[in-house]
Every structure is written in structure tokens, then in C-alpha cells.
Structure 1
Amino acid sequence: MSLAGKVAIVTGSGRGLGLAYAQELAAQGASVIVNDVDAATAAEAVAAIEAAGGTASAVVAPVGPSATAKALVDAAFERYGRLDILVTNAGVLRDTVLWKMSDDDFDTVVDVHLRGTFTCVREAASRMREQGEGGRIICIGSPTGQRGNFGQTNYAAAKAGIVGMVRTWAMELKKAGITANAVIPVAATAMTATVPYFHAAVEAEAKGEAMPAFFRHDLGFGDAGDVAPLIAHLASDAAAGVTGQAIGVGGDRLQLWSHPEPVATAYREGGWDAAALSEEFDAIVGERLQSVGEKFPPLPEELQPPQA
């Protein structure tokens, strides 16, 4: 696989998962536009890519506004002459339960994740269509958007919305040879660092040690370096036939998420009135009701977090 001659934008790539994506794309030969809201962080990311022999430059701006999307795409064309790959990774968290979530908590997360993905993809896809050589759109989702998560109304809404947009864009952009896919990463982040269940995994990563096999294999939980190769693959010519998909990756595990499909169907001539529903509902759907949230297996005793 080679991305030589390709040009990529990775939003929110100053650190963490986004930086890993930018570094992997650069290692495969792409020239990369790095994006962050902090100039020093963006400069450090560019320096790290260049020190490894890659090519990168930075655009410092908050993702969300259309002006930022235009600045990112303009930079790709002005500095490298084209655009082939967009990875929408930028995001923020404002976690709290529904009854405590403020308008600002909700709007901030939706604006960066959902609106930011929309504005960046709209601008990039428009320019890719003009360029006439196809392209790759890779949007970062989350297990929270697939399954829900306590305290993350805003984040769940945004990440679920991203997958819905990806499915739509796959249809709209097919004729132009532009693929659109969502990646669902499961990796150590600032968020998982605060969850006691992941203590042993986060501690191992902080020490530069291998994560216990329980996390890598049983949970499919790893570090940023485990996710980045999938980004590079979806950005390559080898993935030209993959579009409209939600693909999970983490630790030792790769997953293809299904699209929502009916799990129970019944018909009643003339339609369903309240009495008929009361009588038949449990028999039709009762044993097929879907679970919510992620269900983790019990931690082995040796991986239990220290007691406070």
C-alpha cells in the first residue's frame, strides 16, 4: 500500500488518535494538513511527522464553522496542489446526565463533531468532485454512537448522526468515485483514562508496556497505533470498493458494524389499534427487544483497579 502523491487533511490531529492518523498517512507517503486549535500543539505534530521523514503543514482553527472547512481545503490545494483524503476526527466532550446537560454542553459537542464533520466533508467533497479523480472521506464515529452511553446524550447524538451522514454520502458521491466510511475506534483516550475498568490498560500504556491480552483481545481495546492502519487502508486505492460502512477497530480486533435492520415484523390487516397492540406486542417483539449500552465482561482479578 502506498499513498505517495496523495494529499490528506486530518482534523483534530495535534495529539492523540488524530495525530496517530496523520503520522500513519504521512508514513505511507501522503502529504498531510494537520489541524488543531492550539498553534504550539499543531507545530509539534508537524515537527514529529517531518522528523520521521514525512511531509506536513498546519492549519490552526476550530472545526465547526464553514470558514474553517474552507481554510483546510484551500491549504491542501495551495500547499500541495490537490486533495485526496479527508479524515474528520476533531471533537470535544461535555459529559453529564440529561437533566444536568446545558444548552451549551449540547451545542458545543454537536457543533464540533456533527456540524464540523458536515462542513469539512461538504467543502472537501465539492473540491474533490471538481478535481475529478475520486477521493476518500473517513469520518470518526464511536461505540457510543452505535450503542449509547450514560452521560453522553450530546456525543451519542453527534456520533450516530455521523454514521447516518456517511451512509447518505456513500450514495451521493459514488458517481464521483469518492468513498465515504466511518471508523469506530476503541482505544485509550483521555476519556477512558478516567474509567476504573480500564485502569490496568491505561497504566500499561502510560508505562510503555504492552496492554494485557484481556483488553487487546477480549475487548478489542488498544492504543492509537492500532487504529491508524485502518485509516490508511481506507484512504488507499485498495479500498476503492468500500463505501458506506461503519468499521470498528481496536487492539487485536477488527469489526464490521451492521446497518440497522428490522429484527421482528408482523402484519395485521387494517392496521394496528391499541387493543391489538396490547394483546400481541409482547409475543411479536418481547424476546427481541434490543439492548442498550456496551456490556463489558467482568475484569479478571489480577486486572482489578486499586481500591480507593
Structure 2
Amino acid sequence: MNLSGKVAIVTGSGRGLGLAYARELARQGAAVVINGQGTESVTDAVRTVEADGGRAVGVVVPVGSTKSARLLVQTAVETFGRLDILVTNAGILRDKSLLKMTDEDFDDVINVHLKGTFTCVREAFGYFKENGIAGRIITIGSPTGQRGNFGQTNYAAAKAGIVGMVRTWALEMKKAGVTANAVIPVAATAMTKTVPYFQKAVEADERGETMPAFFRHELGFGTADDVAGLIAFLASDSAAGITGQVIGAGGDRLQLWTHPEAAVTEYREGGWGYQDLVEDFGTLFGDKLQSVGEDFLPLPEELNTEQPAKIG
């Protein structure tokens, strides 16, 4: 058990993906701090980890504030004696198109996903640095943060922001030996269960059956457990040299996302004025404009349901 003696916090781990991450970390030997907003779900999650033979403690607190972040770190240290791993999984959805999205819809999602990641990572890194621990920071991104998705202005902004912070933290934490990475899960979640395109895959998962190969292989869409192994790997000593990366996991697929790079570069002596752009932009860049959203293959006939054109 290569995480034996390690202690991890997993935010938003009362159910779903977060619970899968916590269970895998515990299976590999780590003691785990379970976090969520519901007492029942957190209590049940702790019992699940313990039933697996692991060690866990629950903290019922909403993620976002510095106070919550401090409580999580404090609980890990007071209960298990140290902290080595932080997985920032907590999140909520408030999906609406731009003109229907309220300030509250926007602020709530940013507070949990983006600010919650920031405050928890700041608190954990402070502990790592003060105690000379080569800790592991594992944040959770989304395909929406990489490519956008209709109705998710708030969520896209938060998830893209998390990736930006990870790249910055990789630089700031390098000297302390702490790694920071983002994982992009593609799995059956509360969000994907509502999308008709994934209906057959989700139904199979709920029945305890293997998802059709089309979803697992061609789409890289799977279960929470398909992502959990990557979380445990990034938390281990084997991943000590991996930092600042964005890694996708789902079904049978593993992906290393590129950092943004210029797709085309052109120069003009004296710079680019308005008229220059009117005359030349289309010729130089028109056939190289980048796509938005995520395009999926047509479903095989036997799996066909109502198909959306794009899914983020």
C-alpha cells in the first residue's frame, strides 16, 4: 500500500466522484478526511471507507471560506497527525444561459469551485511548507473548462480558472517539492445523468453492468472508479516529478492536455492596424479558427437516443 502513512483531504467526498477518490486513496493506505455539506452523506461515506478497511473522519462544512479550509487541515492534523494530500473536488452546478444567469448563480459556483480550491490549497500548502512536506495538490477540472459548454458560464469560468491556478502553483511550489496537477474526469455524474446522449451508459452503470464499449473507448466516458486510480497515482511518490499538468481520465482513455499554444503566428512590420486586419485576417487565419464546445461521434444505432449537437 504505497500511500501507507499518508493523510488526505478530499473535499466534496460525501458521494459520487469524491467518494470514489476517497475510497481509492484509503485502499492504497491513506487516512482520509471526508468532506461535504450533508451530515448523513458524510457519515455514510466515512462508514463506507471504514467498511473497506480504511481510516476516515468526516467534516461537515461548505467549502469556500478560509475558515472552512483551516478546519479541514486542522482536522487532518489533529486526527491523523499530519497532512500529505489535498484533492479539491467540491462543486455545485447552477446552469443557465447567460441572460438568465443571476449574480447569485454566478457567485455561488465561483465561490465553491474556484475560491474553494484557492482557500483549501493555500491552507494546505502553508502546512506543507511549514512542516517540510513534499505534498500533493490534486484539483478537479472539467472538459467544460477546457472547451466551453452552453449554459455554463459560471462553471466554465471556475474550471478554466482552476487550471490557470495549477500552472501558477506548479511554479510557486516547485522549490518546496510540492506538486500541483488538475484532473479532467469524464464519468457518470449528476450532470451527465441528465444528458440523453449518455443515457445507455448511465443506465448500465446504475445496474452494475459494464458500459458499452463505444462509451468507454471511443468517448472515454466511464465510471467514477475509472478516474480514482489517477487520483491515487498523482498522490503517490511515483508522481513526484509530475506537476503543472492537466490530465484527463474516463473509461478506457487517459489524456494529457496541452497547455495553450499559438495555433498560427503572422508578423507585419509596424504592427497590425484596423485596415490590415480587414484585408488580411480572413486569408491568414480564417481556416484555422479554433472550435468551441466538444463534438461527439454519432451514437451507434443500438445506443441511439436524442442526441445533442455539442456537450461540454
TM-score, L = length of structure 1? 0.98
CA deviations 1:13-63 (Å, max 9, x no partner) are 000000000000000000000001011110100000001100000111000
Structure 2 counterpart of 1:103: 103
Q: How far did 1:273 drift?
A: 0.8
Aligned positions of 1:115-194 closer than 5 A = 115-194=115-194
Tell me, in whole angstroms, the C-alpha distance in 2 between the residues paired with 1:217 and 1:161.
29
Which one-letter code corresponds to 2:288 in the other structure? R
Check whether the contact 1:265–1:284 (CA below 8 A) recurs between aligned residues.
no
List structure 1 segments (4+ residues) > 4 angstroms apart after TM superposition: none
Query: Measured at CA, do residues 211 and 139 of structure 1 come closer, stay the same or move farther in structure 2, by a change above 3 Å?
Result: same
Which structure 2 segments of 5+ residues have no match? 308-312
Which one-letter code corresponds to 2:159 in the other structure? K
Q: Secondary structure at the match of 2:14?
A: coil
Q: CA RMSD in A?
A: 1.0
Aligned positions of 1:198-237 closer than 5 A = 198-237=198-237
Tell me, in whole angstroms, the C-alpha distance in 2 between the residues paired with 1:253 and 1:306.
25
Tell me, in whole angstroms, the C-alpha distance in 2 between the residues paired with 1:193 and 1:305.
13
TM-score, L = length of structure 2? 0.97
Tell me, in whole angstroms, the C-alpha distance in 1 between the residues paired with 2:277 and 2:123.
47
Tell me, in whole angstroms, the C-alpha distance in 2 between the residues paired with 1:285 and 1:165.
30
Q: How far did 1:306 drift?
A: 7.7
Q: Secondary structure at the match of 2:166?
A: helix
Aligned residues: 307
Tell me, in whole angstroms, the C-alpha distance in 1 between the residues paired with 2:249 and 2:5.
27
Which one-letter code corresponds to 1:226 in the other structure? D
Structure 1 counterpart of 2:48: 48
Which one-letter code corresponds to 1:83 in the other structure? L
Structure 2 counterpart of 1:61: 61
Q: Secondary structure at the match of 1:92?
A: coil
Tell me, in whole angstroms, the C-alpha distance in 2 between the residues paired with 1:243 and 1:129.
16
Q: How far did 1:285 drift?
A: 1.1
Structure 2 counterpart of 1:11: 11
Which structure 1 segments of 5+ residues have no match? none
Which one-letter code corresponds to 1:198 in the other structure? F
Tell me, in whole angstroms, the C-alpha distance in 2 between the residues paired with 1:61 and 1:269.
57
Of stretches 279-288 and 229-238 in structure 1, the one that deviates more from structure 2 is 279-288
Check whether the contact 1:146–1:160 (CA below 8 A) recurs between aligned residues.
yes
Aligned positions of 1:256-271 closer than 5 A = 256-271=256-271
Check whether the contact 2:182–2:247 (CA below 8 A) recurs between aligned residues.
yes
Q: How far did 1:133 drift?
A: 2.1
Tell me, in whole angstroms, the C-alpha distance in 2 between the residues paired with 1:235 and 1:31.
13
Tell me, in whole angstroms, the C-alpha distance in 2 between the residues paired with 1:305 and 1:277.
44
Tell me, in whole angstroms, the C-alpha distance in 2 between the residues paired with 1:167 and 1:287.
30
Structure 2 counterpart of 1:81: 81
Residue 276 in 1 paired to residue 276 in 2? yes
Structure 2 counterpart of 1:113: 113
Q: How far did 1:269 drift?
A: 1.0
CA deviations 1:193-233 (Å, max 9, x no partner) are 11110010011011111100000000000000000000000
Tell me, in whole angstroms, the C-alpha distance in 2 between the residues paired with 1:57 and 1:133.
21
Structure 2 counterpart of 1:21: 21
Tell me, in whole angstroms, the C-alpha distance in 1 between the residues paired with 2:61 and 2:140.
19
Q: How far did 1:279 drift?
A: 1.1
Check whether the contact 2:63–2:112 (CA below 8 A) recurs between aligned residues.
yes
User: Structure 1 vs Structure 2: percent identity of aligned residues?
Assistant: 69
Q: Secondary structure at the match of 2:167?
A: helix
Tell me, in whole angstroms, the C-alpha distance in 1 between the residues paired with 2:274 and 2:36.
54
Structure 1 counterpart of 2:310: none
Tell me, in whole angstroms, the C-alpha distance in 2 between the residues paired with 1:118 and 1:293.
26
Tell me, in whole angstroms, the C-alpha distance in 2 between the residues paired with 1:134 and 1:306.
48
Q: Secondary structure at the match of 2:157?
A: helix
CA deviations 1:67-95 (Å, max 9, x no partner) are 00000000111011111000000000000
